[in-house]
Amino acid sequence: MLKHLHISNYALIDRLDVDFDPGLSTITGETGAGKSIMLGALSLLLGQRADSRKAAGAAGKTVVEGLFDVRAFPHLAGLLAELDIDPCEEGEMLLRREVAPTGRSRAFINDTPVALNLLSRVASAVIDIHSQHANLLIADRNYQLNLLDAYADNTALRENYHALYTSYRALRSRINALKEAAAHARENEEFIAFRLEHLRKLKPVAGEQARLEARQQLLADASAISENIGEAQGLLTEGDTGVLDSLSSAASLLRSVNLELFEQEPDLLPRLESARIELADIASTLEGYLERVEADPNELERTEARLDQIYEAQRRFGCATEQELIDLLARLEKEYASITGDDDDLTDLEKELHSLGNQLKEAARLLSESRRRSAVDITDRLLEMARTLGLPNLRLSLSLASGKLTSTGGDTPALLVAFNKNQELRVVQEVASGGEISRLMLCLKALMARRMNLPTIIFDEVDTGVSGDIADRMGALMSEMADTLQVLTITHLPQVAAKGSHQFKVYKQDTTDATHTRMRKLSSTEREEEIAAMLSGADTTEAARLNARTLLNASLTT
């Protein structure tokens, strides 16, 4: 419930701080005193656009704060956790909206900055403002669907349906895109087939180009490489002048020398032998290199021919690397498969779409069945409640027509009413007066408030167009609603004002340089005077006071 409301620098309100209580609170005041201004400020918490003519005047930024007691509504804690907002402290939640003179707006939940749409989402879960123009919502088909779903508690069914609907549309779009691509490909079938045949013959392989280019470089220099390797090998092995023979001769000569000379260098001969062995291994390696270079005199020609094929394909198809050629080949294979009808992916996707479509239809059926049951129950309950508000001849028809599946299901609601015996059933705005619509909407709000688990509801002159006994009954219905939720109602009717557990008066106060809107809670004596004034006008009579006292006492005993 709304515990405290703070408004500053909004239209005629320079500063307003009001504490509210549970139950039914009535708000009265003369026309033009500023009751609608208060609601306009409060609507900023619900995310409505700030009116630059009212908000953030020269006095400074507009601030609207609502402090809510949410201990009895644990689902709100889950909502805040979902939105990653600090939890409520001691069961309280603070919503704030600020509008700077520049028009820049900021929103806060529990002093955490949030986007305006998040503030609106949370505020809508704790407060509902029903103004006179909202009566027209009863004719809106989306509003009617939302009512049916709220009454039937269809949250899970609707979320499941919407998830399937979103997936179905996304998959269908993907399939259509693939089909369009295939159709486009068919227009270029010959061109695709030509490119595909060329690449199939080429058979590009990852890493082949780099390997061939390295081999080409080696083979292109084969003559010079072979000559140098051969000469190096000759220096090591050929004739009497070869290094290896020279080392062998040196070793033989040293063995004939008196070994006593080598006592200081005992490993001289082993070292010489080790050098000979190492050089012999180098000579053998050079011989292997020489064989590789001279292995095939036609290899250079074959290597260069293959590279020319790769380079030509890259130039022809606009590919910078061999990997792009490989990717192009895979893409052309897929496009050609779609042309020839051999596209397994598309076939699998269409099977998946068919299965998803069946699931979607079943979800829509379950949603429709639930709504139809709700429509019957709502109609019966509304007729029962409306008769107590002076609508004995009211007839209602809330039907659902099946049609194309949309984001909300396959149902199109139609609410038809007749308020008199001799009237045909027609859409509500064509046959109802303002007072009749107001009474019907009050019944609907009373019916839905408990279902929607809403802490606070505010009625803005919902009793317009009624008087006397009907006004008294409307007040009684609001008082009954207040047994389970907080109800605030702005009214001009004394019968309704007297039903409140608490009453507030909105009035204007002049200062030396300005006029301001004020609001205060009335005492018992002040309530009697206020209701008496509502009954008799400017000159309050004793009879009016007696009548006011009677209304207040009657409300206390009911």
542 plus 514 within the same structural domain = no
Instruction: Give the mean pLDDT of the chain.
Output: 85
Q: What is the pLDDT of residues 170-182, one digit of tens each?
A: 999 999 988 887 7
Query: Tokens 């984001």 map to which residue?
Result: 407
The helix-helix angle for 468-481 and 434-451 (nearest 10°) equals 10
The reply to whether 493 falls in a domain is no
Domains in the chain, number: 3
The reply to whether 269 falls in a domain is yes
Query: Tokens 């979607």 map to which residue?
Result: 360
Task: Summarize the confidence of residues 351-374 as an average pLDDT.
Answer: 95
510 plus 537 within the same structural domain = no
Continuous segment of H or E residues that includes residue 64 = strand 62-69
The reply to whether 491 falls in a domain is no
Model pLDDT, residue 149: 92
Q: Indicate whether 58 pLDDT > 60.
A: no
Q: What is the pLDDT of residues 272-297, one digit of tens each?
A: 788 878 888 887 777 777 666 665 66
Task: Summarize the confidence of residues 534-552 as an average pLDDT.
Answer: 85
In the 8-state DSSP scheme, what is residue 12?
T
Domain end: 320, 340, 360, which one? 340
The reply to whether 485 falls in a domain is no
When comparing pLDDT for 483 and 463, which is higher? Answer: 483
292 plus 308 within the same structural domain = yes
Q: How far is CA 230 from the centre of its chain?
A: 76
Q: Which domain holds residue 73?
A: 1-126+500-522
Model pLDDT, residue 191: 85
333 plus 196 within the same structural domain = yes
Separation CA 476–CA 551 (nearest Å):
12
Residue 25: partners with Cβ closer than 8 Å, 6 or more residues away:
486, 487, 488, 489, 500, 501, 502, 503, 504
Tokens at 167, concatenated: 């997936």
Which region among 97-111, 138-152, 423-437 has the lowest average model confidence (pLDDT)? 423-437
The reply to whether 178 falls in a domain is no
119 plus 196 within the same structural domain = no
328 plus 306 within the same structural domain = yes
308 plus 255 within the same structural domain = yes
Domain end: 310, 340, 370, which one? 340
Q: Indicate whether 414 pLDDT > 60.
A: yes
Separation CA 207–CA 278 (nearest Å):
36
In the 8-state DSSP scheme, what is residue 48?
P
The reply to whether 223 falls in a domain is yes
262 plus 286 within the same structural domain = yes
The reply to whether 134 falls in a domain is no
322 plus 197 within the same structural domain = yes
Q: What is the pLDDT of residues 326-337, one digit of tens each?
A: 999 998 888 787
The reply to whether 118 falls in a domain is yes
Q: Indicate whether 369 pLDDT > 70.
A: yes
Separation CA 26–CA 57 (nearest Å):
29
Query: Tokens 């008199």 map to which residue?
Result: 420
Q: Indicate whether 513 pLDDT > 70.
A: yes
Separation CA 394–CA 296 (nearest Å):
105
Q: How far is CA 173 from the centre of its chain?
A: 20
Model pLDDT, residue 278: 84
CATH of the domain at 505: 3.40.50.300
- Which of 413, 325, 403, 425 has the alpha carbon at shortest distance from 375? 413
Model pLDDT, residue 333: 87
504 plus 552 within the same structural domain = no
DSSP for 234-291, written as a single string: HHHHSTTTSHHHHHHHHHHHHHTS-GGGGSS-TTHHHHHHHHHHHHHHHHHHHHHHHH
Q: Indicate whether 158 pLDDT > 60.
A: yes
**DSSP3 helix / strand / coil % (the chain, rounded to 5):** 55, 20, 25
504 plus 557 within the same structural domain = no
297 plus 325 within the same structural domain = yes
Burial 182-220 (b: 16+ CB within 10 A, else e): beebeeeeeebeebbebbeebebeeeebeebeebbeebe
* pTM of the entire predicted model: 0.67
Task: Summarize the confidence of residues 237-263 as an average pLDDT.
Answer: 70
Model pLDDT, residue 194: 87
Map residue 325 onto helix, strand or coil.
Answer: helix
Task: Summarize the confidence of residues 372-394 as an average pLDDT.
Answer: 91
